[in-house]
């Protein structure tokens, strides 16, 4: 059994999904890959501690208070490769960015490979099930180019601007 609550952010409704102990998903309404890999029954439940903590975390984030990812217990569902990419995303500090190429280099080191397809990296970043908190919006193309975002480019631009990240159009 999974539990769901809604959070009304300045850029739209976010569905928060928990297994009661951990946050396993945070998706914008109509986001690509919404509820991907979720097979369990989901019920609406407001009185789940991790969901309430997540809402407070998001309140802080949207008020530019720079909450730490470590404040929440996260358990994103994905294969080992994706989880490794999401670990890298989780280390990107507030207000900073990383490129797909930099993620690729780091994954190659971790997996002892010479090369990694940028398409594989982009796919893993795009399938991040915990938007904002695992900050995939901080991933840009080379030369700070804004590239895809499963929640929508407009939301990505808003989040980057919120964090005072200078953008290249």
pLDDT in tens, 124-139: 999 999 999 999 999 9
pLDDT, the chain, mean: 91
Q: What are phi and psi of 23, to 5 degrees?
A: -80, 125
Question: What's the predicted TM-score (pTM) here?
Answer: 0.92
Strand partners, 115: none
CA dihedral 39, 40, 44, 49 (to 10 degrees): -110
Count of the separate structural domains present in the chain: 2
| 136 is known as an active-site residue | yes
* 106: pLDDT strictly greater than 80: yes
Cα-trace Rg, the chain: 15
Average pLDDT over residues 111-134: 90
Q: What are phi and psi of 26, to 5 degrees?
A: -145, 100
Instruction: Please say which residue of 49, 71, 93 terminates a domain.
Output: 71
Domain limits for position 54: 2-71
Instruction: Please say which residue of 71, 99, 118 terminates a domain.
Output: 71
Average pLDDT over residues 70-98: 95
Q: What percent of the chain has pLDDT over 90?
A: 70
Q: Which of 24, 130, 136, 162 is catalytic?
A: 136
């Amino acid at each position: 059994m999974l539990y769901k609550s809604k959070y009304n952010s300045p850029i739209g409704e976010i569905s928060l999904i928990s297994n009661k102990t951990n946050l396993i998903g945070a998706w914008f309404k109509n986001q690509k890959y919404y509820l991907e890999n979720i097979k369990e029954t989901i019920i609406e439940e407001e009185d789940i501690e991790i969901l309430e903590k997540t809402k407070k975390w998001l309140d802080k984030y949207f008020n530019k208070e720079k909450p730490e990812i470590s404040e929440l217990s996260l358990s994103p569902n994905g294969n080992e490769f994706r989880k490794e990419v999401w670990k890298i995303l989780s280390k990107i500090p507030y207000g900073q960015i990383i490129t797909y190429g930099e993620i690729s280099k780091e994954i190659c080191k971790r997996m002892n490979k010479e090369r990694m397809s940028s398409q594989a990296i982009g796919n893993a970043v795009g399938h991040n099930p915990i938007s904002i908190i695992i900050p995939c919006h901080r991933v840009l193309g080379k030369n700070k180019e804004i590239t895809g975002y499963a929640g929508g480019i407009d939301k990505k631009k808003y989040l980057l601007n919120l964090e005072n990240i200078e953008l290249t159009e």
